[in-house]
Amino acid sequence: MFRTSMRSMATAARKSLTIGLIPADGIGKEVIPAARTAIEALGSDIPTPKFVDLIAGFETFTRTGVALPEETVDVLKNDCDCALFGSVSSPSKKVVGYSSPIVALRKILDLYANIRPVVSVSPNPKEPSKVDMIVVRENTECLYVKQEQQTVGEYGKEARATRLITERASTRIGKMAFELALARPRKHLTVIHKSNVLSVTDGLFRESVRAVQLQDPKFEAVTVAEQLVDSAVYRLFREPQIYDVMVAPNLYGDILSDAAAALVGSLGVVPSVNAGDNFVMGEPVHGSAPDIFGQGIANPVASIRSAALMLRHLGYAEAANRIDNAVDSVLREDQLLTPDLGGTAKTQEVTEAIVKRI
């Protein structure tokens, strides 16, 4: 599993660790408690964890008219050291007054990097994983600024969306990607873009990321490649081993990381963190899965691994390793698999097995 250190925040002075828990919608309510249980099992490897239950999501919106309550934001800003977010049910059709709370939180807390490791668990722990990559997704711009408008033109309705790419955002996500690549054995970074068509927006992203290497001599050790996003998807399925760290604008990164999850069996095992310079929030990559909510069969692995990523970012590498090693053992040796992986295990069974290994 992903064991490269990220930007560690100061940890020495902490006697406790206040963690905001936002299950949000659907199976988020089942997998976030599993992540909490895994954290509690770590004992003295981390400061005493204190958990704060918070609300957000489409279900919150239907009850209150607000998807992201101000109280949730205030508590995260003022009381929490980090957070875990479950999953959100965003409707495919426009709902007046609603917007995704996770997109809003990324902007409000300036969590500009979405870091998504995708790693297969080899049957033999001594053998390298067939898939071992990190997708580093810019988290605040691109089409996710959600500036859309619809007008009526000569040929009927016309819809337009603004795509924002800035030098600042592209540079700082580039630095994050270079730091991650530098810390990995292969030291390889692939810049994903479509600047052959979007020469202005993707061109700026590409140029800004590549300029990072010229600004800091330590990054000279990183080998840099480029890939057009469409061919990157093709090669992802044909030659996943060529990728180490990939850095992409928001939309491309979202698509690539979800596609990469197919290489390791399920979205249910792929974790992520939303990271900024002052806060980090773990988030499993999967959605709210309303079709299985309440059946007790949701895969808790992604949320538990997201907790490990969050702790690693905070500087608790040993604790994170304990979680990751426990998950690997349950998947490899116990073969305790939920239905998304072809098994019959329940959420609680998998969680208990992982906690026992921890």
Single out the catalytic residue among 74, 79, 216, 230.
230
Single out the catalytic residue among 98, 107, 110, 258.
258
Single out the catalytic residue among 194, 202, 243, 324.
194
Tokens of 287: 């959605």
| Helix axis angle, 28-40 to 301-314, nearest 10° | 50
CA distance linking residue 181 with residue 184, whole number of Å = 5
CA distance linking residue 170 with residue 136, whole number of Å = 11
Active site residue 98: no
Single out the catalytic residue among 112, 144, 252, 316.
144
Tokens of 141: 């711009």
**DSSP per-residue codes, 215-242:** H-GGGGGSEEEEEEHHHHHHHHHH-GGG
CA distance linking residue 215 with residue 194, whole number of Å = 24
Active site residue 254: yes
Active site residue 25: no
In DSSP terms, which residues pair with 138 in a beta bridge?
113
Active site residue 230: yes
User: How does strand 132-138 pair with strand 245-248?
Assistant: parallel
Active site residue 258: yes
Angle (CA) 90-87-338 rounded to 5° is 125
Q: Which candidate, 147, 172, 171, 169, places its Cα nearest to that of 160?
A: 147
CA distance linking residue 263 with residue 279, whole number of Å = 30
Single out the catalytic residue among 132, 254, 324, 340.
254
> What's 294's DSSP letter?
T
Sheet strands (E) in the chain: 16-24, 48-53, 82-87, 113-119, 132-138, 142-153, 156-164, 188-193, 223-228, 245-248, 273-275, 280-282
Contact 212, 175 (CB under 8 A): yes
Residues with catalytic roles: 144, 194, 230, 254, 258
